[in-house]
Amino acid sequence: MEHVPVMKEEVAKFLRGKGIFVDATTGTGGHTEYILEKFPDLRAICLDRDKQSLQYAMKRLEKFRPRLEFIHSDYRKLPDLNLPWKKIDAILFDMGLSSFQLSSTRGFSYQKDAPLDMRFNPDEGKPASVFLREISYSELVIIFKNFADLKRAEELAREIKGRKIESTSDLVNAVKKVYKTTKRELLSRVFQAIRIAVNRELEGIDDMIFRLLELLPDGARLIFITYHSGEDRIIKNSFREAEKRGKMKILTKKVIKPSRQEIIKNPRARSAKMRVGEK
């Protein structure tokens, strides 16, 4: 299932349209397609941690081939890559999960029975089923409290530690046993919290921002779209700190959110928040 890019017009407004656009989270290529069509002088470097998504994007973006480069990498390794840094106009981080991944059989969705894996890159780390087996009860409680703001986190952690969790249905059943409900919102939060922990999604972002600011030319922009309050807090605080140190100017004094029309058309956009900083 192709992912619908969120706030693509708002993203484009922050580009100057010359040099190189880095799509740090290419997914199925929706943002890049829109941006390369809009700015014929722009070239793009496309990253993703998920090889399958990147392969999909390569096919979709074939018509732009001479203007494109693809790199299978975690964006936190960006500062270590040998890129033409001084030509970069902007880097986009559209964080989290795509609809393409959600509709896969890799265990991201509570709506699809599948082995509980949840890794963006299946060659790294451990599947969620193994992660849940190896993690301690108290660490699991912290994950549910910090990443999902769950009430009765202790009970859910105890239930999970007390049974075999191999598949998405096993996890749904554990939630059902504790909360006596399988409400969409509750299941999304439980699945999201485990996914964030399995992929260590909140680690190293602040450090990456500061390192990128050393490499980019003046005027280059960092554009972040987040879907989780923990992610957004990291971006907000790192931007404030970078501005305080005189390394960046925050261009979005007020966070940008999708319009009502966009949310009606694409409900997955509802939790999105965009922040942009300029070196």
Binding flag, residue 79, ligand SAM (CB under 6 A): no
Residue 72 or residue 158: which is nearer to ligand SAM going by CB? 72
Q: Are 242 and 235 in contact (CB under 8 A)?
A: no
Binding flag, residue 226, ligand SAM (CB under 6 A): no
Question: What's the one-letter identity of residue 99?
Answer: S
Residue 35 or residue 175: which is nearer to ligand SAM going by CB? 35
Both tokens assigned to 278: 């300029």
* Whole-number Å distance between alpha carbons of 16 and 165: 49
Both tokens assigned to 185: 């919102």
Contact residue for ligand SAM among 25, 104, 168, 226 (CB under 6 A): 25
Contact residue for ligand SAM among 28, 226, 238, 271 (CB under 6 A): 28
Binding flag, residue 48, ligand SAM (CB under 6 A): yes
Question: With left for phi above 0 and alpha for psi between -120 and 50, is residue 144 left, alpha or beta?
Answer: alpha
Residue 116 or residue 269: which is nearer to ligand SAM going by CB? 269
Both tokens assigned to 156: 């859910």
* Whole-number Å distance between alpha carbons of 31 and 23: 8
Binding flag, residue 27, ligand SAM (CB under 6 A): yes
Binding flag, residue 10, ligand SAM (CB under 6 A): no
Binding flag, residue 76, ligand SAM (CB under 6 A): yes
Q: Is 16 exposed, middle or buried (0-12, 13-18, 19+ CB in 10 A)?
A: middle
Binding flag, residue 187, ligand SAM (CB under 6 A): no
* Whole-number Å distance between alpha carbons of 46 and 138: 38
Q: Which residues contact 162 (CB under 8 A, 6 or more apart)?
A: none
**Helix 153-161 to helix 168-179 angle, to the nearest 10 degrees?**
130
Q: Please, what sign has the CA dihedral across residues 177, 183, 187, 189?
A: negative
Residue 44 or residue 156: which is nearer to ligand SAM going by CB? 44
Binding flag, residue 258, ligand SAM (CB under 6 A): no
Closest CA to 101 of 66, 70, 56: 56
Q: Segment near ligand SAM (CB under 6 A), from 43-51, 111-119, 139-147, 184-192?
A: 43-51
CB of 243 to ligand SAM, least distance (A): 24
Binding flag, residue 232, ligand SAM (CB under 6 A): no
Residue 2 or residue 170: which is nearer to ligand SAM going by CB? 2
Question: With left for phi above 0 and alpha for psi between -120 and 50, is residue 204 left, alpha or beta?
Answer: left
Binding flag, residue 106, ligand SAM (CB under 6 A): no
Binding flag, residue 75, ligand SAM (CB under 6 A): yes
Q: Segment near ligand SAM (CB under 6 A), from 93-101, 140-148, 158-166, 252-260?
A: 93-101
Residue 160 or residue 271: which is nearer to ligand SAM going by CB? 271
The residues of the shown chain that bind ligand SAM, judged by CB under 6 A, are: 3, 5, 25, 27-31, 47-50, 53, 74-76, 94, 96, 98, 120
